[in-house]
Amino acid sequence: MKNMKAQNLRTLSVLVIGAIIIIGFITKIGIGNLSAVGIKNLSLICPLGAVETAIAARLLIPRAIIPFLIGVILIIIFGRFFCSWVCPMPLLQRWFPGLQAKEKAAKDAADAEHIEAVKVDDAAVTAAQATVEEGAKKANSFTLDSGTWVLVGALASTAIFGFPVFCLVCPVGLTFASILAFMRLFQFGETTISVLLFPAILLAEVLLLRKWCQKICPLGALISIIAGLNKFFRPTIDDSKCIAASKGINCQICHRACPQGIDPARPATSEVGLNNCTKCRECADACPYGAISFPFMAEKKAEVAAPAAEYWVRYRSELGFVCGAGSDRASPANQKGKQYWDRGSGRRRRLIRWRSK
């Protein structure tokens, strides 16, 4: 189980949760579904559904407050965990690749080539040195995206029409509504339009809206807003293992692997904030050097202090010959083993040792 990829674990998680809910349907235990699930007095409700219901009814239901707050606490602790490990939409999109299957295959091939052909260039070295310094900077913990505007539209439509409009097209609700419709068809022979309508809408969303989770889902957007408070189980980079930070190699493997478009190696400059991280662990599985982990609470990186004086260096070129101490100076950010560009000779150098002037 330890070596099982996160994608397989996520698939297993969604299937087990789905099976438990279906068993509840069959046995009539009444545990509900992912929109509202509970056993006896312990219950959880969809945070978006709770907000929409309160807006539609123009009424705050006291009994819904505690389940809503429990959901908020879970989001603060686990972030957007629901989106990868519980929601059926990502699994359905893997099972049905849709109209962009060729584009995805091309991207996967490009990613594979990138892994095999990671090269060092001037920009890569600069970025790698910046990554070391970024350890002391605050990560980009919160960003809003197009899903936020869909969320605003969903809440506005609820206020205008007086009922939760988004719930009619929510993939989570449609998944279990479709399952229930088929169960009633085979169990009681009910032939209603829902047997065709619910699966048809769900299939259209799965096949056509391939960026649903990243760009459209208002539930994910609401969870992301709350997850701005999440400080736990965040992707953490070990700079000693990360080749971008330690060797100046232009590696974007973790960035390419992230479904949300987060750059775990450079969180301070990532266009997508860590509040959008779904804890899917795709970046950790993709990294061939094991540089990414998801600790309960990441240790704060020590600030990188620049030396007070410049240093003369003894260096070796990538061609293999050794040069004596000369007039070329390395950047103070360089350390032993780091690569940098020697403007004087036009060669890339690797620092062997340094000493003060």
**Structural domains present in the chain:** 6-97+145-226 (no CATH), 102-139+232-293 (3.30.70), 311-356 (no CATH)
Given a contact cutoff of 8 angstroms between Cβ atoms, the answer to whether 342 and 349 are in contact is yes
| pLDDT given for residue 151 in this prediction | 95
**Cα–Cα distance list, 291 to 136, 239, 257, 301 (Å):** 18, 7, 14, 15
Cα separation, 129 vs 117, in Å, equals 21
Average pLDDT over residues 231-243: 92
Give the range among 170-184, 277-291, 304-318 with minimum mean pLDDT. 304-318
Tell which residue, 229, 231, 227, 246, has the closest CA to residue 298. 231
- Note the pLDDT tens digit of each residue in 288-344: 999 999 999 887 765 444 333 333 333 333 333 333 333 333 344 444 444 444 434
Count of Cβ atoms closer than 10 Å to residue 244 Cβ: 26
Q: Is the pLDDT of residue 249 over 70?
A: yes
| pLDDT given for residue 7 in this prediction | 93
Cα separation, 207 vs 205, in Å, equals 6
Q: Is the pLDDT of residue 349 over 50?
A: no
Identify which has the larger pLDDT, 33 or 321: 33
Question: Backbone dihedral region of 137: left (phi > 0), alpha (psi from -120 to 50 degrees) or beta?
Answer: beta
The 3-state DSSP class for residue 311 equals: strand
| pLDDT given for residue 142 in this prediction | 66
Greatest Cα pair distance in the chain = 88
Give the range among 76-85, 135-144, 162-171, 278-287 with minimum mean pLDDT. 135-144
| pLDDT given for residue 42 in this prediction | 77
Query: What global pTM score does this model have?
Result: 0.74
- Note the pLDDT tens digit of each residue in 103-124: 666 666 665 565 555 544 444 4
| pLDDT given for residue 220 in this prediction | 95
**Mean pLDDT, all residues of the chain:** 77
